[in-house]
Amino acid sequence: MSEEMICETLFLKSNQVSHFYENSSGNCTQALQDVSIEMQSGEILAIVGASGCGKSTLLRILAGLVQPTEGNVTIEGISPLKYQRSQKISFAFQKPLLFPWRTTIQNIMLPMEIVSRSITLSEASKDYDRALYLIKTLGLSGFENCYPHQLSGGMLQRAAIARALMTEPKLLLLDEPFSALDEITRENLWIDFSRIWRTQNLSVVLVTHSTQEAVFLSDRVCVMSHRPGTIQAVLPIDLPSFRDRETMMKSKFLELCEKVKNYLS
């Protein structure tokens, strides 16, 4: 893709972001150093790196949850904090964090209660219909009225991501959402979510330890150095948009995974 095309569709930009924090001993630790990223609208960007390299800190800065010590971030030309106020950003964590006293559909609809968008019966009906649509799309049909303790780990994560999609965000931020799952469940979710994200035309930033996950799900992989984290490589993932289990066995996929691993090591 040409530089001109990238500029025309630029969605998110971090400009020389650095971040320091005070550790438990009272000493100042640098988590990030001069991190610059450009992302197009509708792109899926994976960020990989060793534990403690600042991946999650960077994600929180992109979300507007943490202010960088130096540098800045813009999303469609405005700060993440302003962008967040319009409910255009959603965040999903490693743990699903569903309320145990709420059913699946009640957990999924929670964001609409928080933003008080369902003011009229008509709006409430639309929100309910969207929740049912997400339940069907994410393979949760038949579990609408189940409580979290009645769901498997994979179902809990599906419900958590359905909740994140409820407000129809333009940017979805994911902090290792599949890392606690077994290998088969994890790969099944990769396949399902790869299809969903691309059909919804979402912009997604995914933080992960898994090179396979990064390559399978993304359009580009940003490889971070050890702390203080900086971007040491950005690798385009030249794979078809439609990806399934066979993709994971292709030589091109394995070659890209090895390339990411080489940068990490």
Tens of pLDDT, residue by residue over 21-43, are: 887 777 888 999 999 999 999 99
- pTM for this structure? 0.88
What pLDDT was estimated at residue 121? 54
Sheet with 203-208, edge to edge strand ranges? 89-92, 171-175, 203-208, 44-48, 220-224, 231-236
The closest of 162, 202, 157, 200 to 177, measured between CA atoms, is 157
Q: What gap in Å lies between CA 236 and CA 69, rounded to an integer?
A: 29
Tens of pLDDT, residue by residue over 228-237, are: 999 999 999 9
pLDDT grade for 1, boundaries at 50, 70 and 90 = very low
Cα-Cα-Cα-Cα dihedral sign, residues 74, 76, 79, 85: negative
Tens of pLDDT, residue by residue over 182-195, are: 888 889 889 988 88
What pLDDT was estimated at residue 80? 93
Strand partners, 207: 47, 175
Q: What gap in Å lies between CA 162 and CA 30, rounded to an integer?
A: 35
CB–CB of 97/155 below 8 Å? no
Per-domain boundaries in the chain: 92-168
